[in-house]
Amino acid sequence: MSEEIDAERLRAALQTVADACRTGASTNIIFGLALGYQSCIIPTIVLAVVIFVSFSLANMYGIACAALGMLGTLATGARSIGYLRARMALSLSTSSLKARQACKPSGSPCANTMPLSACQ
């Protein structure tokens, strides 16, 4: 369910970037950067609030403890991103293999090695 919601959100974002392409390359670059920066707004605000609260409670020691707490979650975040990338690569390679097999009969010795451009 969440994959469908994310896919719809991604399609909408990509459509707005594609619409920005119609006015020129520079508009497309600026719009793409602005769209990427939108994902940084909430983490930046949360980080600023954490730094302010930790400093007001325990001065520099509070900031050090908050930084260590955030670093403690880094491994989990990196691991989940690696898993998602591997899953996406597997999904892409599977769909590419299906497209190649649909293009060439499966009895052919080069059915899995033929480039997709030959199918078109």
Tell me: the pLDDT tens digits for 64-90?
Answer: 988 888 888 888 877 877 777 777 777
Question: Residue 18 belongs to what domain range?
Answer: 2-98
The amino acid occupying position 35 is: L
40 part of a folded domain? yes
Total tally of structural domains belonging to the chain: 1
112 part of a folded domain? no
11 part of a folded domain? yes
| Least trusted range by pLDDT, from 37-41, 44-48, 92-96 | 92-96
Phi, psi of 112 (to 5 degrees): -95, -10
110 part of a folded domain? no
Average pLDDT over every residue of 86-112 = 59
Interatomic CA distance for residues 32 and 18, integer angstroms: 10
Residue 115's pLDDT is 52
89 part of a folded domain? yes
